[in-house]
Chains A and B, each alone.
Chain A
Amino acid sequence: MAKVIVVTSGKGGVGKTTSTAALGAALAQRGEKTVVVDFDVGLRNLDLVMGAERRVVYDLINVVQGDAKLSQALIRDKRLETLYLLPASQTRDKDNLTAEGVERVIDELRKTFDWIICDSPAGIERGATLAMRHADTAVVVTNPEVSSVRDSDRIIGLLDAKTKKAENGERMEKHLLLTRYDPARAERGDMLKVDDVLEILSIPLLGIIPESMDVLRASNLGSPVTLADVTCAPALAYRDAARRLAGEQVPMTIPGERRGFMNKLFGRRAA
């Protein structure tokens, strides 16, 4: 049965698009048919992170307005045949998205895909509420930093109030994805620890993604980090998170936490 996931955060720049691409690719690597949907109308970027920016012909707005068929707008990934992208429009504005139109597109996607991952725009306005509206599960992307945690708290409130599930009196499943985490700084007391953020937001943890150069490198190359280098720390962390999303029991590790003295001296490359 299809599962609709919204990747959301409130605050911008915390890693929603990166996480959407990485989780989408990791789920597709399991052989499950996955589509990543960009809801950031006017400021699309998922196409760029996926390396498909030159293949966009039709977009979500075209499909919502009936100017293109869904099959015309979907872009199949060149590396993984189970991975698809539905891009946002760059030229129109978000007012072209209607609640009914989005519902129609999501319902149609549900028929052919196992996973529908919606990349929410930042903020708490219409674009963000439309992206979360039809979700079964939310992934709340948070940095261990005060403004990000505060905004995530706000988004959790919205998930419990403004989604279809919430309105039907059902429980909205929410997971925390802690990104840009630096275990060494947290250990020194200069960064909120995983437990601090968990205690404050009190939603279950999906994964901890370490701060890493590999994330920027993957986006430079136009590849989800889980495809760019399958052995790097963030790729492993995202893959574990994807497995947990799929219902597997995977022990939670904090990547890079046990760094030896020599590593602390010379192993700063990844930090």
Chain B
Amino acid sequence: MSLFSFLNRRSSAPMARERLQVLLAHERAQVGHSDLVGLLREEILAVIARHVQLDQDKVNVTMQRGENVSTLEVDIEIPVTASVRAA
């Protein structure tokens, strides 16, 4: 039995390689995206704040990765009392 399993033992390096490739593709995308979303949030906020008074915490930027398309969702809550500056 032990001799049989020794002969049948498959090499492990290809498995390591495949697991790393999948994992790192995922992790690189994640790290990149968290930076991108943070950056977008800052810049969108800056642009809107030039015209409308905003509560910094009421701005939500999320990104979702689909197979073919990714969606960027920007959700900004503007208070009724906000003074809209004339452009």
Query: A145 to nearest B CB, angstroms?
Result: 8
* CA gap between A196 and B13 in the complex, in Å: 9
- Give residues of chain A (99-125) contacting chain B, Cβ–Cβ below 8 Å: none
Cβ-Cβ contact count across A and B, 8 Å cutoff: 37
State the interface size on chain A (CB cutoff 8 A).
16
User: How many B residues are at the interface, by size bracket?
Assistant: 10 to 19
Residues on the A chain within 8 Å of B68, using CB: none
Q: Is A244 an interface residue (CB 8 A)?
A: no
Query: B27 to nearest A CB, angstroms?
Result: 7
- Give residues of chain A (187-226) contacting chain B, Cβ–Cβ below 8 Å: 188-193, 196, 200
> Given the interface contacts A146-B19, A149-B20, A150-B20, does A186 sit within 8 Å of B27 by beta carbon?
no
- Give residues of chain B (14-34) contacting chain A, Cβ–Cβ below 8 Å: 14, 16-17, 19-21, 23-24, 27-28, 31
In-complex Cβ contact of B13 among A150, A154, A157, A192 (8 A): A192
Which 4 residue pairs are nearest across A and B when measured between Cβ atoms?
A189-B11, A196-B17, A189-B13, A146-B16
Binding site for B on A (CB under 8 A): 145-146, 149-150, 153-154, 157, 186, 188-193, 196, 200
